Amino acid sequence: MKNSVRPVIPPKTIYRMSVYLRCLQRLRSNGIQTVSSEALAGAAGVKPTQLRKDLTHFGQFGTRGLGYDVAQLSKMISDLLGTNRLQPVVLIGVGHLGTALLSYRGFEEEGFEIVAAFDVDVDRHRDKAKKTPVFGMDRLGRVIRESGVRMAILTVPASAAQEVANALVEQGIAGILNFSPAMLSVPDHVMVKNVNLAIELENLSYFLQQ
Amino acid sequence: MKNSVRPVIPPKTIYRMSVYLRCLQRLRSNGIQTVSSEALAGAAGVKPTQLRKDLTHFGQFGTRGLGYDVAQLSKMISDLLGTNRLQPVVLIGVGHLGTALLSYRGFEEEGFEIVAAFDVDVDRHRDKAKKTPVFGMDRLGRVIRESGVRMAILTVPASAAQEVANALVEQGIAGILNFSPAMLSVPDHVMVKNVNLAIELENLSYFLQQ
DNA sequence: AAATGTGAAGTTGTTCACAGCT
DNA sequence: AGCTGTGAACAACTTCACATTT
């Protein structure tokens, strides 16, 4: 017997909700108030029925004969994704990629704030006067606990990735955005998203070969 | 009537082939010569049957009762993905992220070489003596044609993304790794892979909420 | 005995077709 | 008339179960 759970949403639907949100934000900044599933789906690169099906997982938001209210739908999605409030994140590994992500404006615009960075070498890449503090790995646990951070961006070399992941999990991190080429093994309650740039290029490469 | 085509391989299979290849490379550098589907699948984070099914798309490579030859399987996959030869790539947009990717060692290790970078401002971020030349956008067509590049990494702001994509397509680029938050519209024969860091974080954020 | 290769079954995700509002 | 919401059909992908090979 199942007890009442909030219905399980397909991960792909969640991904597309983020895409829809960006399209809606652009529509809104262009002063558009109402949008049809056809127009919004077009902007997001999906079929209209897919968009409507995705939305039904969360309720009914449209007006038949008219379409969707841009502002209302934006609000629904950002509530859903938790983007309405600023979310703290930590970053581990202040190498090339880590440094780039620290200077990347995109995160803040989308509701994420990198509150602290960590590296084995505290003085690494500190050339520019950056506001994000860089700590040694020994302070990891303390900072995470005190700031209540739940997500980490992992930009350490593959050789260090699993070890750092273990430390993160131990300190209560529940989500890891993993840029290292290593496959992490973590407990079930921890979620890992892998972003592997070399694999993405390899994939492109395959499909171009034909 | 269909004329004989090479069988269409599921995109997800191709993605996993890249993952398998990395696992095999690690096994090989550890001196391991033979691996079972169970062990390799474990390292790649998939089920053994999935691995075996993936491989059957390309042929039979294992020995029953024994497993797979690590070197042979590595070779098969890198031939397949086109990673056996060095692939030239161009990068457009030498901002924070673009600069980071230019300094990122990972690509070369995986068989990709960024042969040239482009930006509206040629002198941007040229502080360190980097070997990759940075050109103005006016040289885009010429460099692409002369170097025979087929893939581009796009790290320009969203506002410029579509315009640059159009130029790339016009110059014969067939694959784009798009880091900008913009959804690109391109002809059917051009393949776009989106890597949107904010969306990945948003996704994590949703699944942590429960 | 051990492990692969694969048809069949199962599961998940997408699209269709149309009923139902406004 | 126009456009959403949704059950049903369809397609894609994953897992199972087991025959097959070394």
Q: Between chains, do B202 and A99 touch, taking CB under 8 Å as contact? A: no
pLDDT at A1 over 50: no
* A17 and A67, same domain (yes or no): yes
* B168 and B67, same domain (yes or no): no
How does DSSP classify residue A180? S
Helix and strand numbers (H, E) in chain A are 9, 9
- Backbone φ, ψ for residue A122 (5° rounding): -65, -30
For the domain that residue B130 is a member of, what is the CATH number? Answer: 3.40.50.720
Helix and strand numbers (H, E) in chain B are 9, 9
* A54 and A152, same domain (yes or no): no
* A26 and A127, same domain (yes or no): no
* Edge-to-edge strand ranges of the sheet holding B112-119: B134-136, B112-119, B87-92, B151-154, B175-178, B191-194
B125 CB neighbours in chain A (<8 A) are none
The residue out of A65, A80, A95 marking a domain boundary is A80
pLDDT, position A199 = 92
* A97 and A74, same domain (yes or no): no
Q: Give me the number of domains chain B comprises.
A: 2
In a domain, B120, yes or no: yes
pLDDT, position B1 = 42
In a domain, B145, yes or no: yes
For the domain that residue B35 is a member of, what is the CATH number? Answer: 1.10.10.10
What is the domain range of residue B115? Answer: 87-199
Residues 103-142, chain A: which have Cβ within 8 Å of B? Answer: 103-107, 109-112
In a domain, A209, yes or no: no
In a domain, A5, yes or no: no
* B96 and B71, same domain (yes or no): no
pLDDT band at A129; cut points 50, 70, 90: low
Q: State pLDDT tens for residues B58-86.
A: 999 999 999 999 999 999 999 999 888 89
pLDDT, position A103 = 86
Q: State pLDDT tens for residues A44-103.
A: 999 999 999 999 999 999 999 999 999 999 999 999 998 888 999 999 999 988 988 898
Query: Vertex B56, ends B54 and B59: CA angle to 5°?
Result: 130
| pTM of the predicted structure, to 2 decimals | 0.90
- For testing the chain A interface, which of B127, B201, B210 should be mutated: the one with the most A CBs within 10 Å? B201
Beta-carbon contacts of residue B9 (< 8 Å; ≥ 6 apart):
B57, B58
Residues of chain B with pLDDT under 50: 1-4
pLDDT at A4 over 60: no
Q: Which of B83, B106, B208 sits opposite A151 (nearest CB)?
A: B208
* B76 and B136, same domain (yes or no): no
In a domain, B135, yes or no: yes
Q: CA B50, C1' D13: Å apart? A: 10
* A66 and A151, same domain (yes or no): no
Q: Between chains, do A15 and B181 touch, taking CB under 8 Å as contact? A: no
Q: CA B79, C1' D20: Å apart? A: 29
Quote the crossing angle between the two packed helices A197-209 and B11-29, to the nearest 10°: 120
The residue out of A42, A59, A80 marking a domain boundary is A80
Q: State pLDDT tens for residues A133-190.
A: 999 999 999 999 999 999 999 999 989 999 999 999 999 999 999 999 888 989 988 9
In a domain, A138, yes or no: yes
Q: Does B97 touch chain A (CB under 8 A)?
A: yes
**How much of chain A is helix, strand and coil, in % rounded to 5?**
45, 15, 35
Q: State pLDDT tens for residues B103-131.
A: 887 788 888 999 999 999 987 766 555 68
Q: Between chains, do B198 and A109 touch, taking CB under 8 Å as contact? A: yes
* A133 and A179, same domain (yes or no): yes
* A92 and A178, same domain (yes or no): yes
In a domain, B1, yes or no: no
Average pLDDT over chain A, rounded to an integer: 91
In a domain, A177, yes or no: yes
B97 CB neighbours in chain A (<8 A) are 100-101, 104
- Is-contact B82 B40, C-beta < 8 A? no
* B108 and B194, same domain (yes or no): yes
* B98 and B195, same domain (yes or no): yes
The residue out of A80, A103, A123 marking a domain boundary is A80
Shortest CA gap A114–chain B (Å): 12
